[in-house]
Amino acid sequence: MVRIIGGLVGLAFAVMALVGFISTTVGAIQEPEKPTAEHEFHKGPEELKLASNGPFGHFDNQQLQRGFQVYKEVCSACHSLKLVSFRDLQQIGYSEAEVKAIASQWAIETPAPNPETGEMATRKNLPSDRFPAPFANDIAARAANNNAVPPDLSLMTKARHDGPAYVHSLLTGYQNQPAELLRKFPDAKTPKGLHYNPYFANLNLAMAPPLTSDGQVQYTDGTKPTVNQMATDVAAFLTWTAEPKLQTRHAAGWASVLFLVIFCFLTWGAYKSVWRDTKH
C-alpha cells in the first residue's frame, strides 16, 4: 500500500512538472521575449594582445610601468587599488628608493591616529602601505560620481570575462548612440549624466571617458601616448595587479609538465627492464 501511494505521489509530481514545462514552452512560443537594446547592441571585448597572454605569457615591466603611470595620473582619482601595496611596485622594476618616493608623494595620505593626541589624522604613505582609497566612504564616492561607486581595480581583470580586453575595449569604446539603436528603441536614449559605451553590460555608465586625447599622459620612455596605447598599458598593469604571480605559476606549470614527461619515460624504461625476460 505504501509503495502504491508513493508511486502515485511521484507520478503526480512528474505530471505537474511536465505540465509546467509544456505551459512555459507554449508561452515562450506564443509570446516570445521582446528584444532589448542591451541584447542587440552590447558588444564583447575586442581581442587584445599582451605579453602576458597564453601559457608562455610573461610581464613586460616597461609596459607595466607605463600602465601604472596611467593609473596614477588618470584612474586613481576615482578608483582604488586596495589589495596592492606600494612596495609591490618593486616587482615591476621600480627600485626601493623609487617606491619610497612614489609612496611619500602620493596625492592621498594614509589615515592614522595622531601619536600625540590619539585623534584620527593622516600621514605620508610608507612602502608597506596599500594604495589609499580616493574617497573616505561610499557616500562620498557616490556624491562625486553621479551616484555610482567606482569599483576597486585590484582584481578587475579577473572579475570580468576576458578582463584585460574588457578594460581596453571599455576605455576606448565611448561613442555616440547609433542612429539604428534610437530608431529601433526610442526609449533607450542614454539618460542625462550617463555615457554610451557598447562594451558595458547595459550600454550606459556613469564614468565619463577617462582617456580623452592622445598625449594625456607623458611617457618617460618615449612611447607615443595614444589613447589606444594608454588603454593597452593600463590593461596590462591591471592584469599584473590581479595576478602578480602569473610568471611563477607558468614556470611551475611547465616544470610540472616536464617532470611528468620524464617520469613517463622512466616508468616505461623500468617496465621494459623488469619484464624484458618474460615471455608472452
Per-residue pLDDT for the chain (280 aa), expressed as one digit of tens each? 667 776 666 677 777 777 766 766 655 565 556 678 888 889 999 999 999 998 888 999 999 999 999 999 999 999 999 999 999 999 999 999 999 999 999 999 888 877 777 677 888 999 999 999 999 899 999 988 888 999 999 999 999 999 999 999 999 999 999 999 999 998 889 999 899 999 999 999 999 999 999 999 999 999 999 999 999 999 999 999 999 998 888 778 888 888 888 989 888 888 878 877 765 5
- Which residues form the domain of 48? 37-83+152-248
Domain total for the chain? 1
Which CATH number characterizes residue 185's domain? Answer: 1.10.760.10
User: Would 183 be classed as within a structural domain?
Assistant: yes
User: Would 169 be classed as within a structural domain?
Assistant: yes
Q: Report the SS3 class of residue 112.
A: strand
User: Would 194 be classed as within a structural domain?
Assistant: yes
For the CA atoms of the chain, what is the radius of gyration?
Answer: 28
User: Would 129 be classed as within a structural domain?
Assistant: no
Cell of 167: 578594460
User: Would 217 be classed as within a structural domain?
Assistant: yes
User: Would 42 be classed as within a structural domain?
Assistant: yes
User: Would 175 be classed as within a structural domain?
Assistant: yes
User: Would 56 be classed as within a structural domain?
Assistant: yes
Q: What residues contact residue 163 under an 8 Å CB cut-off, 6+ apart?
A: 156, 157, 238, 239, 242
What does pTM read for this prediction?
A: 0.82
Amino acid identity, residue 172?
A: T
